[in-house]
């Protein structure tokens, strides 16, 4: 449960940094470096979240699944096309 909360907090930080970069872009009109700093921070958070997810998958803490998982109870089994 704490992993889900951590991922959501990091994702919220990414969105907050994105919108603060937009705000600084409009307000400062290119006179300061706050826009570049906010967007660089967003890239760092995004990269960190990606690496965290890959590490959690590699350690087996979380398990990825496809769009249509095959072994769901009650799911119709289809035979391969011949």
User: pTM above the 0.85 mark?
Assistant: no
Do 21 and 38 form a contact (C-beta atoms < 8 A)?
yes
In the chain, the number of structural domains is 1
In a domain, 74, yes or no: no
Residue 32 has what pLDDT?
A: 85
Range of the domain at 13: 7-59
CA distance 6 to 40: 21
In a domain, 43, yes or no: yes
pLDDT of 77 above 80 = no
Residue 66 has what pLDDT?
A: 72
In a domain, 78, yes or no: no
Distances (CA, A) of 19 to 31, 35, 45, 48, 79: 18, 10, 14, 19, 48
In a domain, 2, yes or no: no
* Residue where the block lists tokens 């690496």: 51
- What digits encode the pLDDT tens for the residues 18-74? 999 999 989 987 788 888 899 999 999 999 999 999 999 999 898 887 776 666 666
């Amino acid at each position: 449960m704490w992993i889900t909360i951590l991922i959501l907090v990091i994702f919220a930080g990414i969105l907050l940094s994105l919108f603060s970069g937009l705000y600084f872009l409009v307000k400062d009109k290119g006179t300061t470096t706050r826009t570049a700093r906010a967007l660089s921070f967003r890239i760092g958070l995004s990269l960190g979240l990606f690496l965290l997810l890959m590490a959690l998958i590699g350690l087996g803490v979380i398990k990825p699944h496809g769009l249509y998982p095959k072994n769901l109870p009650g799911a119709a089994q289809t035979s391969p096309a011949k």
